[in-house]
Amino acid sequence: MPVENTQIRLAARPTGLPKASDWNISKTPLAQPSDGEFLAQTFYLSLDPAMRGWMNEGKSYIEPVALGEVMRCGGVARVIASRHDAYQVGDWVAGITGVQAYWLSDGHGVSKIDPEAAPLPKFLSVLGMPGMTAYFGLLDIGKPAPGETLVVSGAAGAVGSIVGQIGKIKDCRVIGIAGGARKCTYLTEELGFDAAIDYKADDIDASLARHCPGGIDVYFDNIGGSLLDSVLARLRLHARICVCGAISQYNNTQGIRGPSNYLSLLVNRARMEGFVVFDYANRYLDAIRAMSTWMRESRLQSREHIVQGIESFPETLLMLFDGRNFGKLIIQVADPQ
Amino acid sequence: MPVENTQIRLAARPTGLPKASDWNISKTPLAQPSDGEFLAQTFYLSLDPAMRGWMNEGKSYIEPVALGEVMRCGGVARVIASRHDAYQVGDWVAGITGVQAYWLSDGHGVSKIDPEAAPLPKFLSVLGMPGMTAYFGLLDIGKPAPGETLVVSGAAGAVGSIVGQIGKIKDCRVIGIAGGARKCTYLTEELGFDAAIDYKADDIDASLARHCPGGIDVYFDNIGGSLLDSVLARLRLHARICVCGAISQYNNTQGIRGPSNYLSLLVNRARMEGFVVFDYANRYLDAIRAMSTWMRESRLQSREHIVQGIESFPETLLMLFDGRNFGKLIIQVADPQ
């Protein structure tokens, strides 16, 4: 039994991009489970844009991480000691492990996973929060109809790539916006998107005009910023914008850029609507069932970008904000073999 | 029979506030009706914030007014000559008369009105476009439920004052935002609003916090700008924002100010949705029936601000943008007595 835990705690609230001094990496004595608790070893951690928001002070859809607290983080872990009736040593679980090598849990918000059903990292991507976010955000908020034009930003990312593939399954015309030729080729060649726009190289407005000549019915927005304005300028009547995130703005020290073309909502009788994936928790199983079926039918695939070592966390997190990751960004904390 | 017509035509596309040189006032020979047309004398003209948008070039929910064209405008008129089967001399009609003393029409988009049913100016306010806008925007887009908190901006205006009164009829708590103590007193003392905020004198954020301690369920926005951001910061879960207009931005030469707090839509699972009243044309009669009933029951009242003379149009229009009007702004072109 190990005796010490590696933990990464929030040391300071960042201004702009989080920097090394905003974190505190420590080795602490490993706590043992009390009655009703289990102890699990963390194997994989999920790095998500939303984490940047959790580091800020102030009301959001979830409490901010307190200063000095272990950074909130989803992960996959295996139970190594248990005084909880529902969890046995050897069980694989997913939950909010935090950025730490070992996780003491009372079982709240934990789900067991079957490591035979899919490779473990998939439980943090297509079968985890990003997959749930894509599924409910697109289907419940975007409500795409066959033949409609769907545009998704952050399209090669964990959420966007799944949104686009579900859009194809629902018979939409799908245009993805991503950064770099390699990601764009992946969207059209491997995921079956109808077109991809490289925001680092292409003229966005001209590209949207070319690929969406009749306008945009559904926009699934992970990025915000000027892209959102470009899409607003090309909405079709009764369009729906799913506000999933605004990663372009999370580290903006000048304040958030609001969409100056928002009156296009009026002109086009369109709507812009936000959602939070946790609200759909009682329907996750339906989504996992649907997604698993599509995966078996080879209609849905996901790509994971795995970085080694918990100590890499402060630097690895930054990859999300400059787009260096290609696929769902995951840290492997320990080798499950 | 008169022989000449006074017409106000758009001479130039304004930058910022429309100025005198953007208009051309002319006397032209009066055309006579051909088969299927009628000629009517204009008595009242409706001045609306949306007119500013019609003066701009570019796609909107309606074609822009062409340079040299008679300015588009709703009005109330009486038929003085007819070769149209459905209209007789003496009939009172409402329609898009344009800013002119006489109106030649083929009957398209025209509705007959009963001058015994209500004073003529009411057909341009509560029983006209502003009333329809308030009714369908609030009920179809805002979907207020009893006990919810409704905030409306431009609350003493033609649309806002009706929105707030319908909100009270639907058992909402209603807070109006208007400019000046006189308008605010009117809202609370005469129209039954629960509270009014004077945007010229009060601290908006503090006032919203005081009057909406539990947050805002429905916001009916006529104003846009910084007010919209203040409201976004206080949304309740599942809030709805009806995007009716943004009069604070229509003459903004720096471009439209987008709502930088729009990510509150995400945090609060809220929506922002636009609408155009013309889409509800096939349901206008339902609305007029409901509004007439509420008027008879003294639950709904409207105030008209009537200015004399068609030549005053260029100057009178500006009253909308600095809030000098108090009530639905109307020009009386001729005396019906």
Evaluate whether residue B309 is within a structural domain. Answer: yes
Q: Decide if B224 and A263 are in contact by the 8 Å CB cutoff.
A: yes
Please report, for the domain that includes residue B29, its CATH number. Answer: 3.90.180.10
Q: Report how far residue B202's alpha carbon sits from residue B207's, in angstroms, rounded to the nearest whole number.
A: 7
Q: What angle do CA A104, A110, A115 make, to 5 degrees?
A: 100
Q: Decide if A261 and B258 are in contact by the 8 Å CB cutoff.
A: yes
- Over residues A290-308, the mean pLDDT reads 96
Evaluate whether residue A211 is within a structural domain. Answer: yes
pTM of the model as a whole: 0.93
Q: What is the pLDDT along chain B (337 residues), one digit of tens a residue?
A: 788 999 999 999 999 999 999 999 999 999 999 999 999 999 999 999 999 999 999 878 889 999 999 999 999 999 999 999 999 999 999 999 999 999 999 999 899 999 998 999 999 999 999 999 999 999 999 999 999 999 999 999 999 999 999 999 999 999 999 999 999 999 999 999 999 999 999 999 999 999 999 999 999 999 999 999 999 999 999 999 999 999 999 888 888 999 999 999 999 999 999 999 999 999 999 999 999 999 999 999 999 999 999 999 999 999 999 999 999 999 999 998 7
Whether residue A117 is found in the same domain as residue A136: no
For B236, the closest chain A residue by CA position comes to A61
Rounded to the nearest integer, the mean pLDDT of chain A is 96
pLDDT of A3 reads: 87
Whether residue A104 is found in the same domain as residue A227: no
Whether residue A248 is found in the same domain as residue A315: no
> Residue A290 corresponds to which tokens in the numbers above?
């649907």
3-state secondary structure (DSSP) of residue A223: coil
Q: Decide if A272 and B260 are in contact by the 8 Å CB cutoff.
A: no
Q: Out of A61, A258, A269, whose CB is closest to B267?
A: A61
Whether residue B26 is found in the same domain as residue B68: yes
A273 contacts in chain B (CB < 8 Å): 265, 269-272
Q: Decide if B258 and A255 are in contact by the 8 Å CB cutoff.
A: no
How many residue pairs from chains A and B have C-beta atoms closer than 8 A? 107
* B273 interface with A at CB cutoff 8 Å: yes
Whether residue A266 is found in the same domain as residue A140: yes
Evaluate whether residue B337 is within a structural domain. Answer: no
A224 contacts in chain B (CB < 8 Å): 263
Whether residue B83 is found in the same domain as residue B138: no
CA distance to partner chain B, nearest, from residue A246 (Å): 8
Whether residue A269 is found in the same domain as residue A235: yes
Q: Out of B60, B267, B273, whose CB is closest to A265?
A: B273
Integer Rg of chain A from CA = 20
Evaluate whether residue B284 is within a structural domain. Answer: no
Whether residue B214 is found in the same domain as residue B262: yes
Whether residue B118 is found in the same domain as residue B169: no
Q: Decide if A266 and B260 are in contact by the 8 Å CB cutoff.
A: no
Q: Report how far residue A241's alpha carbon sits from residue A271's, in angstroms, rounded to the nearest whole number.
A: 6
* B106 interface with A at CB cutoff 8 Å: no
Name the domain count of chain B: 2
Evaluate whether residue B285 is within a structural domain. Answer: no
Whether residue A22 is found in the same domain as residue A145: no
Predicted ipTM beyond 0.85: yes
3-state secondary structure (DSSP) of residue A219: strand
Evaluate whether residue A298 is within a structural domain. Answer: no
Please give the residue that has the higher pLDDT: either A323 or A98: A98
Whether residue B224 is found in the same domain as residue B327: no
Evaluate whether residue A292 is within a structural domain. Answer: no
User: For residue A1, is pLDDT > 80?
Assistant: no
From residue A87, give the alpha-carbon distance in Å to each of A36, A40, A108, A191, A266.
Answer: 10, 10, 12, 37, 53
Tens-digit pLDDT profile for residues B119-163? 999 999 999 999 999 999 999 999 999 999 999 999 999 999 999
Please report, for the domain that includes residue A266, its CATH number. Answer: 3.40.50.720
Per the structure, the complete domain to which residue B143 belongs is given by 129-278
Whether residue B323 is found in the same domain as residue B262: no
pLDDT of B3 reads: 87
